[in-house]
Amino acid sequence: MHSTTRLGTSTRRDFLKQSSLTAGAGVLASVPLARFAHAAGSDVLRVGLVGCGGRGTGAALNAMAADKQVKVVALADSFEDRAQGCRKTLQQQKPEQTAIKDDHVFVGFEAYKQLIQSDVDVVLLCETPHFRPMHLRAAIDAGKHVFCEKPVAVDAPGIRSILETCKLAEQKGLSIVSGLCWRYHPAVIETMKRIHDGAIGEIVTIQETYLTSLPWARPRQPNQTEMEFQMRNWYNFHWLSGDHNVEQHVHSLDKGSWIMGDKPPVRAWGTGGRQSRGREPEFGNIYDHHAVVYEYENGVRMYSYCRQQRGAWGDVSDHVFGTKGTCVVLPQYKITDRSGQAVWKYDGPQGNMYELEHDALFKSIRSGKPINNGHYMALSTMLAILGRMVTYTGQVITWEQAINSQEDLSPKAYRFDAEPPVLPGPDGLYPLAVPGVTQFK
């Protein structure tokens, strides 16, 4: 068992400083150099998983289902119990494709480096969102193909780093497939095609909702340091998850952005707060509702609502209003004309988007035709971060201001005895952002 909790020589802050400021959206333009070591269909592809929780375990199983010559050979997690739990599940469910030796289970903040430096060809990044920019950079620097879960960052320096790394991956001919899984959903793909082909005319307005109940929260356990408590409870701290409008609602913003041709808005404003999430420490410092209006250059507005409150009405949907009709992407995949008459409804196969994204990844590796989802995964995550910036500050913030923001949500050091960037006040409660008081940085 490899166990490391020390940071090593550099912090994420140092790492992000090294990333030059590639502000704006259309930065992925260089010509790929195909550099595929495993193009042959029969070669075994050795996969390592970073972040061995629910999604990571699922992604490893999806990878093995997508390609019978995939073997999961290495695991990395900040916590040993998570890594071992995942190892057991993979061994039980896919014994013939799981080959994780004891010395390929890495634990702690440096575990990702050890995994990337081991003999893996492909890395699945399914850890807590805060770490994605640093881990993606390390994987691409080491020449690995990557499956990269959403969201890809929690702050603008992280997004700038992701954009730079994705450019590098393109130059190296490495694949980066995003976990923004609706991009691989057959019904959504077909519906988007029709919107882009003009089936509802010119787009006027988009409405995106993600209205759900409270997710998990893990109460503090005896003997936990503050860092361990927050790492175990990452969803509820904005420096780790980005807040729920970044962690969860990014899926909806991604569909809205796709409709808009993956171009950034000019500016955003909105309102948000915390009404029904308790003030107990396990609920951290995130909000429980955000309502944000994104204004685009052509006059289109995207109205975006997300809420995590128990007992309230739930709705996860995408409504697009055009000059000739209306489209409901999720959950209906349906287009109606101005009189409300249905003119098209998807009736093709549903498919499993979680497997389809892995099918695409492994086919791209074997065919030598790299996929790079970098542009939209960075843009959609930045939309969500901009949303948090406007709800926390109560200000109108432009895209240019947001993408150039210097707010860096990283701690001074990654150690379990180091201080996280969010600390409880004298009353034991975590301070919340206050619109009109909290400053944009």
Ligand X SMILES: NC(=O)c1ccc[n+]([C@@H]2O[C@H](COP(=O)([O-])OP(=O)(O)OC[C@H]3O[C@@H](n4cnc5c(N)ncnc54)[C@H](O)[C@@H]3O)[C@@H](O)[C@H]2O)c1
Q: Which residues bind ligand X (CB under 6 A)?
A: 50-56, 76-79, 82, 109, 111-112, 126-129, 131, 149-150, 179, 181, 247
Q: How far is the CB of 130 from ligand X (least distance, A)?
A: 7
CB 312 within 8 A of CB 288: no
Separation of alpha carbons 259 and 34, rounded Å? 30
Q: How far is CA 42 from CA 157, 176, 362, in A?
A: 40, 22, 12
How is residue 306 written in tokens? 């997300």
Name which of 216 and 313 has its Cβ closer to ligand X: 216
Nearer to ligand X, 227 or 389 (CB): 227
Burial class (CB in 10 A: 0-12, 13-18, 19+), 269: middle
Q: Write down the least CB distance from residue 112 to ligand X, Å.
A: 5
Measured from the CB atom, is 129 or 322 closer to ligand X?
129
CB of 380 to ligand X, least distance (A): 12
- Tokens 């109560």 correspond to 394
Minimum Å distance from CB 248 to ligand X?
7
Residue 356 CB, nearest distance to ligand X (Å)?
12
CB nearer to ligand X: give 48 or 325.
48
Residue 285 or 393: the one with the smaller Cβ distance to ligand X is: 285
CB of 220 to ligand X, least distance (A): 16
CA distances from 388 to 47, 203, 217, 310, 421 (A): 34, 25, 20, 21, 17
Shortest distance, position 135 Cβ to ligand X, whole Å: 7
Between CA 420 and CA 407 the distance in angstroms is 15
- CB-CB contact of 98 with 90 (8 Å): yes
* Nearest CB to ligand X, comparing residues 19 and 114: 114
Taking CB atoms, the residue at the shortest distance from ligand X is: 53
Contact assessment for residue 124 and residue 48, using Cβ atoms and an 8 Å cutoff: yes
- Please list, in sequence order, all residues whose beta carbon lies within 8 angstroms of the beta carbon of residue 282, skipping any fewer than 6 positions away: 217, 218, 219, 220, 233, 236
Cis peptide before 219, with omega less than 30 degrees from 0?
A: no
